[in-house]
């Protein structure tokens, strides 16, 4: 949330940010309503002052014996109170309208944010790794996953509807392995790990900037008056809501959690496989720091490097892009996306996102700290997806596939995979039943498992 002072000082800049982000918001309407609120407030305060002073004067007139003057003043008070009651109702109505408009006002964008309307206008910053050059026809992650018995999409749809899935055997191990690798990486870099609520009150989503504009992407648990989170960013930021905290050293929090998104508006997009699903898991990084753009910019780069380091451990080629204003959410000041190479798409696909929100979330959540002079300031908040699965399994399976359909497991994951170095396709036994995918470990005797 922006403060009204900033909006009044930079109305054209705020309107430009709204237009670039595609938000139906009018700065003029907001300022008009604010002016109306101020006028009403002045009238209400004047009428209240008259009422209070008249009450004292009535008592004085009665005490002096001037009952006629006291009765006349009572009539004036009665008329005053009737008008006051109507104006107070109008003031409350205008305040509610103003609150709605304030919740639509977008965050400013950083000076170096690219101008653009969609992800097609994002600007590449750097690349890492070489795209694989297969000497065979590569398979997509669905074909590989089904051949290795790592996933079952058909039964996922049967049980839960479209964009749902089952992971099986070594598919589950991979899913958990990438998460644990991310957690271990963040623990070495000073993050405190939290296990967070997955159902939150509506105010938590409003205060973190996901509502009202993102409500259609969120599942409501109606009987509980709560909502399922689409990212643990919500409970991590809300952890310090309405508090004054110590950020002399940035506070670094992380969480691994299930996440839920309705994917409204994505009908027909990425319908095959694991790219765009309703339920997934994320390891999230969140940082609170002082209200200093130079400091929060450094932290944004640090969070992005954490995600890049993870992808390098996974031995995956990727690129970092600066996200344009039109591809940003309402709350974002500056954003990088990391896109990992997905051979089946013959393109980079988004797997990570890093965002600096300035003090936008902290204002909504009322998270403050005392500066060196003892004055209360709103924090800056930042977040980054350290890893999201099962989407990360797409490049993991596709980039590390071999001609025989086996999958090489990166060295960094092997300790989380019971020592597996290679996933080998299932075979058909004498009675035509599929045997589970086998794994190979060069340091242990080869053995067969229902992975």
261 is known as an active-site residue: yes
> Residues 405, 147: contact at Cβ < 8 Å?
yes
Same fold, 4-104 and 119-398: no
Structure confidence by residue, pLDDT tens digits, 4-28: 999 999 999 999 999 999 999 999 9
Report d(CA 22, CA 104) in Å as an integer.
11
* Predicted pLDDT of residue 200: 98
- The answer to whether the beta carbons of residues 193 and 203 sit under 8 Å apart is no
Mean pLDDT along residues 369-397:
98
> In the beta sheet, which residues pair with residue 370?
376
Catalytic residue among 48, 51, 276, 408: 276
| pLDDT at 65 (0 to 100) | 82
350 is annotated as an active-site residue? yes
% of the chain exceeding 70 in pLDDT: 93
The yes-or-no answer on residue 353 being catalytic is yes
Question: How far does CA 360 lie from the centroid of its chain?
Answer: 13
From 163, 261, 363, 368, the catalytic residue: 261
Extents of the domains making up the chain: 4-104, 119-398
In this predicted structure, the answer to whether residue 118 has a pLDDT above a threshold of 70 is yes
Q: Give Dmax over CA atoms of the chain in angstroms.
A: 114
Average pLDDT for 133-145: 97
Tokens standing for 407?
A: 């999958």
The pLDDT of residue 449 is 36
Query: Please, what is the Cα angle at 191 between 173 and 256, to 5 degrees?
Result: 35
Give the per-residue pLDDT at 435: 44
Predicted pLDDT at 438: 54
Quote the pLDDT of residue 374. Answer: 97
Pairwise pLDDT comparison (208 vs 49), residue with the higher score: 208
Separation CA 201–CA 336 (nearest Å): 29
What was the pLDDT predicted at 74? 84
Q: Flag the least confident range among 36-45, 99-108, 174-183, 419-428.
A: 419-428
Catalytic residue among 353, 365, 389, 426: 353
Residue 121: its pLDDT value, please?
A: 97
How do beta strands 347-356 and 380-389 pair? Answer: antiparallel
- Average pLDDT of the segment spanning 323-343: 98
Strands 334-342 and 318-322: antiparallel
Separation in Å, CA 282 to CA 232, 304, 410: 8, 15, 20
Which percentage of the chain shows pLDDT scores above 90? 84
Look at residue 433 and tell me whether its pLDDT is greater than 50.
no
Q: How far apart are CA 207 and CA 215, in angstroms?
A: 13
Residue 183's pLDDT is 98
276 classed as catalytic: yes
381 φ/ψ angles, rounded to the nearest 5 degrees = -125, 145
Q: What is the pLDDT of residues 258-300, one digit of tens each?
A: 999 998 766 666 778 999 999 999 999 999 999 999 999 999 9
Average pLDDT score over residue span 188-198:
98
For the chain, give the secondary structure using H, E and C: CCCHHHHHHCHHHHHHHHHHHCCCCCHHHHHHHHHHHHHHHHHHHHHHHHHHHHHHHHHHHHHHCCHHHHHHHHHHHHHHHHHHHHHHHHHHHHHHHHHHHHHHCCCCCCCCCCCCCCHHHCEEEEEECCCCCCCCCCCCHHHHHHHCCCEEHHHHHHHHCCCCCEECCHHHHHHHHHHHHHHHHHHCCCCEEECCCCEEEHHHHHHCCCCCCCHHHCCEEHHHCEEECCCCHHHHHHCCCCCECCCCCCEEEEEEEEEECCCCCCCCCCCCCCCCCCEEEEEEEEEEECCCHHHHHHHHHHHHHHHHHHHHHCCCCEEEEECCHHHCCCCCCEEEEEEEEECCCCEEEEEEEEEECCCHHHHHHCCEEECCCCCEEECEEEEEEEEEECCCHHHHHHHCECCCCCEECCHHHHCCCCCCCEEECCCECCCCCECCCEEECCCCCCECCCC
Q: Is 3.30.930.10 the CATH number for 119-398?
A: yes
Checking if the pLDDT of 426 tops 70, the result is no
- Fold entry, domain 4-104: Helix Hairpins (1.10.287)
Q: What is the pLDDT of residue 310?
A: 98
- The pLDDT of residue 301 is 98
Give pLDDT tens digits for 60-110: 888 888 878 888 888 888 899 999 999 999 999 999 999 999 999 999 999
The reply to whether 189 belongs to the active site is: no
Q: Which residue has the tokens 């004498």?
A: 430
Averaged over 164-180, what is the pLDDT?
A: 97
pLDDT for 64: 84
CB 42 within 8 A of CB 50: no
Least confident segment among 112-121, 326-335, 365-374, 429-438:
429-438
Residue of 296, 391, 398, 406 marked catalytic: 391
Q: What is the pLDDT of residue 8?
A: 95
Q: Which of 255-264, 357-366, 402-411, 434-443 has the lowest mean pLDDT?
A: 434-443
């Amino acid at each position: 949330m922006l403060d009204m002072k900033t909006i009044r000082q930079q109305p054209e800049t705020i309107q430009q940010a709204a237009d670039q982000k595609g938000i139906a918001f009018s700065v003029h309407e907001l300022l008009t309503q604010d002016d109306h609120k101020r006028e009403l407030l002045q009238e209400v305060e004047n009428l209240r002052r008259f009422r209070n002073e008249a009450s004292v004067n009535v008592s004085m007139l009665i005490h002096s014996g001037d009952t006629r003057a006291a009765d006349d003043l009572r009539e004036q008070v009665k008329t005053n109170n009737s008008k006051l009651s109507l104006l107070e109702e109008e003031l409350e109505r205008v305040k509610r309208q103003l609150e709605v408009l304030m919740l639509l006002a977008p965050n400013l964008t950083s000076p170096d944010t690219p101008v653009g309307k969609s992800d097609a206008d994002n600007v590449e910053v750097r690349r890492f790794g070489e795209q694989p050059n297969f000497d065979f026809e590569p398979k997509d992650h669905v074909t590989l996953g089904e051949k290795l018995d790592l996933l079952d999409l058909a039964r996922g749809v049967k049980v839960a509807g479209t964009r749902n899935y089952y992971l099986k055997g070594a598919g589950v191990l991979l899913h958990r392995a990438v998460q644990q690798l991310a957690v271990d990486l963040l623990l070495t870099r000073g993050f405190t790990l939290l296990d967070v609520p997955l159902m939150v009150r509506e105010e938590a989503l409003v205060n973190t900037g996901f509502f009202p504009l993102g409500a259609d992407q969120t599942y409501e648990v109606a009987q509980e008056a709560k909502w399922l989170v689409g990212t643990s960013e919500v409970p991590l930021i809300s952890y310090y809501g309405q508090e004054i905290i110590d950020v002399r050293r940035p506070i670094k929090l992380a969480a691994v959690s299930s996440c839920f998104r309705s994917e409204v508006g994505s009908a027909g997009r990425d319908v095959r496989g694991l790219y765009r699903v309703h339920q997934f898991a994320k390891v999230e990084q969140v940082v609170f720091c002082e209200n200093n753009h130079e400091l929060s910019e450094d932290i944004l780069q640090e969070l992005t490097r954490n995600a890049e380091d993870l992808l390098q451990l996974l031995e995956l080629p990727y690129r970092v892009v600066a996200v344009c204003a039109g591809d940003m959410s309402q709350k974002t000041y500056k954003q990088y996306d990391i896109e990992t190479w997905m051979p089946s798409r013959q393109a980079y696909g988004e797997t990570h996102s890093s965002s600096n929100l300035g003090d936008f979330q902290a204002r909504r959540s009322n998270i403050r700290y005392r500066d060196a002079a003892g004055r209360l300031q709103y924090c800056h908040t930042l977040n980054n997806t350290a890893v999201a699965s099962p989407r990360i399994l797409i490049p993991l399976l596709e980039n590390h596939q071999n001609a025989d359909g086996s999958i090489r497991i990166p060295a960094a994951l092997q300790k989380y995979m019971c020592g597996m170095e290679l996933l080998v396709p299932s075979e058909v036994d004498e009675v035509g039943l599929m045997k589970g995918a086998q794994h190979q470990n060069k340091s242990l005797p080869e053995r067969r498992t229902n992975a």
